[in-house]
Chains A and B, each alone.
Chain A
């Protein structure tokens, strides 16, 4: 499967130190295919950790609200948070992604999570 994000886009959205990001983007053209592959693997792993952790937090907050009687949620609301979290992560992208591209990104993140487990 083609990668849903380019290496540059990946580096752009992960919360790395700005200097490291800049260096990776500037040196991209000189990198070998192996190096690009390794860096993208690391970035996907980082994205999946962030996605997983934010999902966990949001779900817990919602469940707490329900337990405290503050708010009622429907099952649909829980499904929606995946998209919200993803949108939050991708906010730094400089180009808007189509539905299909978003779905690809989501499945790539999920595949990385399941590989880790």
Chain B
């Protein structure tokens, strides 16, 4: 059983959230437009952050790490940041935050949502809210896990169990390396960790009073009388605290500490200072001035003239700047960028496998799963049919998604690689095509706009009730209710006739309307919603609500969610993609496509500006733009280390490499297990 140091326990526990974010950040993301749920998410996260502040102030509960992350995101959203622009880590944090509310039926959020309703209406509103929350979570899950991955969020979370969101017992069990760890071992590991922590505290000066402690003191002096409004004012404060705390967790300044943060195993040989500098600047161009170079290209050239000591100093300086001047999420993003760029194969250690005889392996789902977009794109570009690719064990949905993203249909119905263009041009073209398709499906778009109008009206009613409706500012809930009450309700005069209500009746009738059990309030609400929906549909509200871009986007999103075939048509019709999208195909794929004449020279030039020309000289003769002869490729690749297994497999499938050359290279690299796996994959 491995020995666990108390320091390891502490480091791992404090990195729980980071670990989750890493896993999710490295995961294949599916683009999901969060625009339709932007407001809902903003309101839920803001509620949760306010509640956390309230509980803290009333002395009931200290904010958790997730509460602090929630406050950070809530602050960003309130400042106008789009949910679509959040990093994978922030998306994951928002997801876990909402999920906690969804899992807990007793959560205060539910009471808050229905507080102004009673009876059946209350239940209906509650059910509706739950559905909306489920749908929102569904959007997040599709973004985080992706339907293509063929896994549910539950099974995904099961894989993370022990590292994320779970009790420290599970973490300790995992550290000990066994689910069967005895209670005594767990107690011992935990107690050792606590002992070290206590010594650390005993050795501190006793005069310092932390913010935590000041908050606790504030709480006892001021019990739970503060209202939500006061709590809301403190969200930025909570957010700052979260940032500070998490920066403390990652309170390192040297490159070896950054390496340790990425992976405990990684050494300077595997990730040199030279690479670390380039990757860090790639991900944080604003740090370029720290290196004293004017451009990234100049930096690349200049670094080769630096001595190891100079490189180390520059890398340390850059890392210190990154940690001190950027948010914690930027640091995590940079680490993920380095992992994705340099260390795609970092996985937990595997047991050594007997080398002989080599068993005939099946093409496993796991092995096929390693084939990402670049490999599938290559197969499609090579002219392999859908059926042929499926017979290799790849998932149809994944093939379709890659095809939609990178290929367009020509007049003969053949798939051709899309042309790359500048971001702005592509966006313009996409908008134009979207408009054309929208026009074709005008009737359905009308229905979608109708639904968006209804949803907006419902959201506005809630805002009106809570006094949060910004426009028009003069609308007040009680005035609105009374205005409609006068239209809908009546009173009986002395002769027994029914006559309309008047303002003078307000004092007497209004309280009973607000608490009406006879459904007067729901009648009024229904009237208000109908009226508001009509106003939206006829464009009378907010100076052109119906014409507004976000209304169009929301309706479009609703339409393509219901009818994915329209989205498919749109994807194919858009004939260009951005150079940076195409650059996601990896350098070796780009040069292969170029060598096979599958990518136009102008697209190639644009893409190579993104990725640099010198990444894969092994495959392409840069003078002629053609692939080198097969034998030459084999020789040059044999010199290169760390090529992923899936790349070897696809080079063989495309006829650019023989199985024996590939396995020899792998064995020379001491990757015997990969060599076995490759032979198994290809049925040798």
Contact = CB atoms under 8 A, between A and B. Distances in A.
A35 B168 contact: no
Given A32-B208, A37-B213, A115 B187 contact: no
A20 to B, nearest CB: 5
Nearest to B213: A34
Given A37-B213, A38-B201, A115-B62, A32 B194 contact: no
Nearest to B62: A115
A29 to B, nearest CB: 11
Contacts of B201: 35, 38-39, 42
B531 interface: no
Contacts of B61: 115
A33 B201 CA distance: 12
Given A30-B206, A33-B213, A52 B167 contact: yes
A50 interface: yes
B209 interface: yes
Given A46-B194, A115-B61, A53 B187 contact: yes
B183 A57 contact: yes
A91 interface: no
A31 interface: yes
B213 A14 contact: no
SS class, residues of chain A in contact with chain B: helix
A90 interface: no
A24 B210 CA distance: 20
B205 to A, nearest CB: 8
A98 B235 CA distance: 41
Nearest to A28: B202
Range for the number of chain B residues in contact with chain A: 20 to 34
Interface in B156-214: 167-169, 183, 186-188, 190-192, 194-195, 197-199, 201-202, 204-210, 212-213
Contact of B190 (A23, A46, A54): A46
Given A17-B195, A43-B194, A34 B202 contact: no
SS class, residues of chain B in contact with chain A: helix
B187 A49 contact: yes
Range for the number of chain A residues in contact with chain B: 20 to 34
Contacts of B188: 15
Residue among A34, A45, A57 with the highest chain B CB neighbour number at 10 A: A34
Given A32-B207, A33-B209, A42 B183 contact: no
Given A32-B207, A33-B209, A34-B210, A42 B202 contact: no
Contacts of B202: 23-24, 27, 31, 35, 39
A71 interface: no
Contacts of B168: 45, 49, 116
B64 interface: yes
Contacts of A42: 194, 197-198, 201
Contacts of A16: 191, 194-195, 198
B206 A31 contact: yes
B367 interface: no
A115 B64 contact: yes
Nearest to A23: B202
B216 interface: yes
A116 B39 CA distance: 30
For the complex of A and B, 8 pairs with smallest distance between CB atoms: A32-B206, A46-B194, A20-B195, A34-B213, A15-B191, A53-B183, A16-B195, A42-B194
22 contacts: A14-B191, A14-B194, A17-B192, A20-B195, A20-B198, A27-B202, A30-B206, A32-B206, A32-B208, A32-B209, A34-B209, A34-B210, A35-B202, A35-B204, A39-B201, A42-B197, A42-B201, A52-B169, A53-B169, A53-B187, A115-B61, A117-B167
Interface of A: 1, 14-17, 20, 23-24, 27, 30-35, 37-39, 42-43, 45-46, 49-50, 52-54, 56-57, 113, 115-117
Given A17-B192, A45-B168, A56-B183, 12 more contacts: A15-B191, A16-B191, A31-B202, A32-B208, A34-B208, A34-B213, A49-B168, A49-B190, A53-B183, A113-B167, A115-B61, A116-B167
